[in-house]
Structure 1
Amino acid sequence: MTDKNSPQSPASPDSSPKDGEQALEERVNNRSHRPSSEAFREFMASSWGDRTPLGLARTGAADFVEDRHQKIGKVFEGERLVVPAGGLKVRSNDTDYRFRAHSAFAHLSGLEGEMEPDAVLVLHPNGEENQDSDATHEAILYFVPRASRTSEEFYADSRYGEFWVGARPSLAEMQAATGIRCEHIDTLKDALAKDAGAVQIRVVTNADSQVEALVNEVREQAGLPTGEDARQADDALTETLSELRLTKDRYEVREMEKAVAATKAGFESIIRSLPRTIGHPRGERVIEGAFASVAREYGNGLGYETIAASGNHANTLHWMDNSGTVEAGDLVLVDAGVELDSLYTADITRTLPVSGHYSATQAEIYDAVIEAADAAFERAKEPGVRFRNLHEAAQEVLARHLAEWGVLPVSVEESLSPQGQQHRRWMPHGTCHHLGMDVHDCAQARQEMYQDGLLEEGMVFTIEPGLYFRADDLAVPAEFRGIGVRVEDDIVMDALGKPRRLSEDIPRVREDVEEWMKEVQSRRD
C-alpha cells in the first residue's frame, strides 16, 4: 500500500513526459502565478510614462580599451576574435550567483560591476571598407538591450525583464558608456558567419558554452577546424589575452590604488571587531563579516573568499571555512581584498595579534617573515631582475632563520639547492603572483613571460612570504607550534623601473601594526 503523500518513484532514464505533463526543466516555474490573459497583456503594455534616461556614465576604462584592442589585434591580424562575458551561474535551483564577467571580456570592454551577462565582444578584422583606418580590427559589443514595455519580456522575463532586474541600457546608451559600437545579440551569428570561410575565428573557451557552440557551428559550416581541432588556436587567444594584462596602464594602476585603499578600510573594520571575536563560537566569521560589509560598501564585493584564520588555522593555507573560535593570545591571519566596481582587486595579508601585542615568540617569527618580504622588495630594485628572483630572495632569508632556530636538518646552502628544499616544509607556496582583475592575474601566460619574465613598468604583483608551524609539527620547538604568519603587500613597478608598495599605508612592521591597532580601536566611528 502506497502513502498518497509519498514522493513518486523516479522515472526510468528513457521515460519522457506523457501528454499534458510538464517536462522536468519546466517545473522550476511552478511557483509562478503570472496571468496570461490577453486583457492582462494589453493592460500591462499601456499607460506608461516616458522612460527616464538610464544615465550610464562613460566607463573609466573607455579611453584605454581601444589601445588594448589594437595590441591584441596586431597579434591576430586578419582574424575574428570572440570574447564572451559569460552567463549567470546557478547557485541553487532557479537562483543565480551575482554575475561577474570573464576577466578577458571585462578588460577589453571596460564594463564594470555586474554588466553584462551573455554579452559578447567581437574584434572583427578590418577589410577593404576600412582601408582608411590604421586599426587592425573593429570592436563590436553584442548584448541584449532593454525591450519595449509593450513586449512580454518587460514583465515576464526574469533574466532580462525590466520588472525583474531593472532597466537595462539601450544600444545607444551602452555605446556612449563604452565607446564601442553596439549591436543586438540576435545579430551575432550572422556577424560571425561573414567571410567565415576566408577568415579564421578564435574564441575564448570555458567562458560561455553557448557562444562556444555557436562559433563551432559557424566554423563547421565554413569548413574550418572545430572543437578540439581548433583548441590550439583558441588557447593561443586566451594565452595572449592573459599576457596582455601583465602590464597595467595608468587607469588600471589607479584602480589598484583605490582597491588597496578600500582594503585598508576593511582591515580597520576587522581590528574594531576583534574584541567581539573573543569567546564568540565563530569568532573567525565575525572577522570575515567585518571585512565583507566594507567590501560591498566600497566596491563590487570581495576579490576572493576571505581567509580569517586564528591560531593553528593559519597553518592551513586556504582556510576559508572561518568557523573557528578566536582566543586572546592568538595571532589571526587575514588574507583579504576588496574588488572594485571596475573588477580590479587588492590582495593583502596581515597577521594581527588579537590582544594587540605580539608575544616574544610570535614577534621572532613575524620579524623573520618581514625580513624575507623586504629582501624580495629590494631584489625588485635590481636591474634585469626576473619575477622568479623575488621568490629566491625571500627563500634565502627564511632558510637562514630556520637554520638559526635549529630546525633545518641540512645547511642553508643545501636546502636552497634544487635537490634540497627542506625549508619549504614551512613555506610551501610561492612568494609572488601577478594581480589585477583576477587575484591570481595572468594565470594563462607562458612561463617565459611570467616566472621567467623581466620586471617591467606597469606590472602589479604581490610579495607574500610566510612561515607555518603546524600544531603537530614535531620538527620545530614546542613554542613555535600552532603559529602561522604571512605578510602580503601589493607592488607596482613604476616608470623608473622601481618597485612601489601600493599598500604602504597599511602598517606591516610589527611595532607599527601594534600602534595601528591601538589607534583604530581607540576611535569612535
Structure 2
Amino acid sequence: MTDHTPVSADSSSANTSDSASATSPDTLAQRGQSRSRRPESQAFRDFMGSHWGERHIPTPQREAVADFLPQRATKAGAPFGHDRLVIPAGTYKVRSNDTDYRFRAHSAFAYLSGLGAEKEPDAVIVLEPTEDGTHEAVLYFKPRASRSSEEFYSDSRYGEFWVGARPSLDEVAVATGLRCEHIDTLRDALAKDAGTVGLRIVRDVDSQVEALVNEVRQQAGLPSGADAQDDDHALEAHLSEIRLIKDRYELDELRRAVDATHRGFTDIIRCLPRATQHRRGERVIEGAFGAVAREEGNGLGYDTIAASGNHANTLHWIDNDGPVNEGDLVLVDAGIEVDSLYTADITRTLPVNGRFSPIQAKIYQAVLDACEAALARANEPGVRFRDIHDAATTVLAHRLSDWGILPVSPEEALSPEGMQHRRWMPHGTSHHLGLDVHDCAQARREMYQDALLEPGMAFTIEPGLYFRSDDLAVPEEFRGIGVRIEDDVVVNADGSVTRISEDIPRTIADVEAWIEDVQSSTK
C-alpha cells in the first residue's frame, strides 16, 4: 500500500532540508509523519502546479434519483416547521494506524442526497426551511481543488494525486438537482438567523459537525448538548420512519440488488466442490460471494454468513473459518449492496453434496412451509407487521410438536407465558430492508412492529430451525442441523405482497436442480 505521508506539511512537523535532523523530540503526531522526506521548496511547489494537460472529466448527467429528492426533503422536514435540519454523511473510520475503512455514508444522508458508492466523505445535507413551510436540501461538500493548489498533491485525504479527481460543485448539482455549496460556508449557513430558526442534527455521525452545531446553538441561546437530545432523537426517528415506504426508485434498486445477489449465490454453488477441499471451506464460499459483490455492486450489504454443519446454529456466524464437509448443509446469509447503497438480504441453506438427506429435507420443508405461511398471511387484508412472525412460528411450533420435541402443546408454547419453541427459532421472522440491511431501525414500535402493511414497504421473511450439536432436548439425528430460508418481499400498490427473490431457487427439488445445473455447466 502507498505510504499516506503527504509530500508537504506545515513547518512545525517537517524540516525544509532532506538531510536535516531533528533537534528536539518529536511529538506523537509528528512521529506519524516521519516515514517520508517531504520537499517543501517554493520551486517544488511551483513545478508541481504547472505543466498539466486538460482533465478528461465526463460530462455530468442528471441521475434518476434526482427526481425523487425534492419529495424526500419535503417528507423529512414536514414535522419540524422552521427548524434547520443537519444530516452529516460521516467521515472515514480508521482501520489501523493511518489506513481507513472504505467510506460508506450514513443512510439518512444517502437517502436525502442520492449519493451512493463512496461519496461524499465529510459532506453535510442541510434541510433549509423555506417561506412556504417546506424544506430545501442543500448539499455542502469539499469540491476538487485547482492543480495549482497544494491540496492537489499534498493532501492524502482530498488531493487528486491521492484519491483521484473529486467532483466540482456544478457537477454534483447537475447529477443530483440539489443546490451545492462549499463545505467552508457551512458555519455561516448554520448561524444565519439561529435563534429565530432552530437547529437539529443527526447525532453520532460526525463529531466535528456536531460540535459546530452545538457551538452555534450556544451562541444563539438554543438548547445544546444533552438539552437538545430529545429534539435530535426525534429527527433521527423521523428520518427512519419516512424510509418505511419506498419510492419507485428504491424498489427498482432493491430488485437490482436481489438480481446481483442471485448471481453471487450461483458462484457459491460453483465453488462448493473446491470448498470441500479447503481447510477453511467456509471462506472459499465467503470469497466467491464477495468477489461478485465488488464486481456487480458497491460491495457486501453486511458480513456474509457462510456456516457449514453445526456452525449454522450460531445465528451471526461470520468467522467463516470452518471446513465444508460432504453431507453437511451450508447456511449462507448474504446480500449485495449496489452502488446506490440499497442491499438485498437472502439466505439459502444448501446441501453440500447436492442432495438433502431425509432428515435434512424434513427440517428444511418445515422451514419452507413456515415461509409460505408467512407470505400468505402478509397477503391477507388488515395485516400488521408482527402478524407475519406469528404465522411462521405457528407452523414451526406445530411441526416441533408433531416431531415430539416440543415439551408442551403448540398453543401453550405460542402463548406469552410459554414460548418454548423459541429455543429452536430464537429470532424475528422479518425486518424492513433498504439502505440498511435492518432498515428503519430507529422507527417507533407503532410505526414498525405494530404498523399495518402498506404499499411500498420492503422487508424480509426468514424463519429458521436450529438444532445445536449439544442440544439434548432433540433427537440425536437432528443435532448439528441448522436451516434458514430468507426472501425479500415488497408490498405492491394493490396491497398484495410479492417475493422479489422468487427466482432464487428455494424448494427442495429446485435447490437440488440448481446445484446440479450450475456444477454440470462448470465441468
- What's the TM-score, normalizing by structure 2? 0.95
Report the counterpart of residue 402 of structure 1 in structure 2.
400
The residue type equivalent to 1:313 in the other structure is: H
Shift of 1:139: 1.5
SS at match of 2:86: strand
Give me the whole-angstrom Cα distance separating, in 2, the residues matched to 1:108 and 1:197: 25
SS in 1 for 2:161: helix
Quick one: which amino acid aligns to residue 439 of structure 1? Answer: V
Aligned residues of 2:127 and 2:138 also touching (Cα < 8 A):
yes
Task: Name the CA distance, whole Å, in 2 between partners of 1:286 and 1:122.
Answer: 44
User: In the alignment, which residue of structure 2 is the partner of 1:332?
Assistant: 330
Q: 1:149 aligns with which of 147, 150, 158?
A: 147
In the alignment, structure 1 segments of 5+ residues that lack a partner are 1-17, 128-133
Offset of residue 399 of structure 1 = 0.2
* Corresponding position of 2:17: none
| TM superposition shift of 1:446 | 0.2
Aligned match of 1:85: 89
2:313 maps to 315
Contact 2:143 2:166 in 1 (8 A): yes
Residue 8 of structure 2 corresponds to which residue in structure 1?
Answer: none
Letter in 2 for 1:406: G
- 1:399-438 equivalences under 5 Å are 399-438=397-436
Matches within 5 A, 1:339-354: 339-354=337-352
Shift of 1:19: 7.8
User: Which residue is 1:103 aligned to?
Assistant: 107
Structure 1 residue 57: Cα displacement: 3.5
Cα distance per residue 1:190-220 (max 9 Å; x no partner): 0000000111100000111111110000000
Per-residue deviation, residues 262-291 of structure 1 (Å, max 9, x unmatched)? 000000000000000113110000000000
1:23-45 CA distance string (max 9 Å, x none): 21232221123311111001111
Task: Supply the distance in 2 between the matched residues of 1:112 and 1:476 (Cα, whole angstroms).
Answer: 47
Are residue 499 (structure 1) and residue 503 (structure 2) matched? no
Letter in 2 for 1:239: A
For 2:76, the aligned partner's letter is I
1:287-307 Cα offsets, whole Å, 9 max, x none, are 000000000000000000000
1:485-496 aligned at under 5 Å gives the runs 485-496=483-494
The Cα of 1:258 is off from its aligned counterpart by: 0.4
1:200-211 to 2 correspondences below 5 Å = 200-211=198-209
Corresponding residue for 1:252?
250
Alpha-carbon distance between aligned partners in 1 of 2:24 and 2:230, rounded to the nearest angstrom: 47
The one-letter code sitting in structure 1 at the alignment partner of 2:417 is: Q
- Name the aligned partner's letter for residue 384 of structure 2: R
Instruction: Report how far residue 53 of structure 1 moved.
Output: 2.4
Cα distance, 1:377 vs structure 2: 0.2
1:233 is aligned to 231
Matches within 5 A, 1:14-29: 20-29=24-33
User: How many pairs does the alignment contain?
Assistant: 502
Whether 1:51 aligns to 2:55 is yes
Measure, in 1, the Cα distance between the counterparts of 2:487 and 2:133.
Answer: 38
CA contact (8 A) 1:123 1:139 kept: yes
Letter in structure 1 aligned against 2:446: E
How much does 1:135 deviate? 6.4
In 2, Cα distance between equivalents of 1:434 and 1:442: 7
- Could you tell me how far apart the structure 2 residues matched to 1:403 and 1:324 are? 32
Does residue 182 (structure 1) correspond to residue 180 (structure 2)? The answer is yes
Tell me the secondary structure at the aligned position of residue 503 of structure 1. Answer: coil
Question: What is the alpha-carbon distance in structure 1 between the residues aligned to residue 280 and residue 395 of structure 2?
Answer: 36
Residue 289 of structure 2 corresponds to residue 291 of structure 1: yes
The one-letter amino acid paired with 2:33 is: N
Query: Aligned to 2:70, what secondary structure does the other structure show?
Result: helix
Contact preservation (8 Å) 1:60, 1:110? no
Shift of 1:22: 2.5
* d(CA) in 1 for partners of 2:96, 2:175: 33
Alpha-carbon deviation of 1:237?
0.4
Counterpart Cα distance in 2 of 1:86 and 1:44:
31
Unaligned 5+ residue runs, structure 2? 1-21
Q: Helix, strand or coil: the match of 2:444?
A: coil
Percent identity reads 68
Name whichever of 318-327 and 135-144 sits farther off.
Answer: 135-144
CA distance in 2, matches of 1:106, 1:56: 19
Does the 8 Å CA contact 1:54/1:169 hold for their aligned counterparts?
no
Find the partner of 2:117 among 113, 116, 122.
113
- The CA distance in 1 between the partners of 2:57 and 2:514, in whole Å, is 46
Residues 307-353 of structure 1 show CA distances to partners (whole Å, capped at 9, x for unaligned) of: 00000000000000000001000000000000000000000000000
C-alpha contact 2:82 2:133 (8 A) present in aligned 1: no
Q: State the SS of the aligned residue for 1:319.
A: coil
Partners of 1:54 and 1:235 lie apart in 2 by 40
Instruction: Look up the SS of the partner of 1:29 in the other structure.
Output: coil
Q: Which one of the candidate residues 31, 34, 38 is aligned to 1:34?
A: 38
TM-score calculated relative to the size of structure 1:
0.94
The separation in 1 between residues aligned to 2:489 and 2:69, in whole angstroms, is 23
Return the alpha-carbon distance in structure 2 between the equivalents of residues 453 and 421 of structure 1. 23
Contact in 2 for aligned 1:330/1:353 (Cα 8 Å): yes
TM-fit CA distance, 1:368: 0.1
C-alpha separation between the residues in 1 aligned to 2:137 and 2:418? Answer: 51
**In 1, Cα distance between equivalents of 2:23 and 2:245:** 60
Shift of 1:54: 4.2
Equivalent position SS for 1:468? strand
- The C-alpha deviation readout for 1:150-189, integer Å capped at 9, x for no partner, is 1100000000000000000111111111110011000000
Does the residue aligned with 1:351 lie in a helix, a strand or coil?
Answer: strand
CA offset digits 1:379-409 (Å, max 9, x no partner): 0011110000000000100000000110100
How far apart, in 2, do the equivalents of 1:169 and 1:55 lie? 11
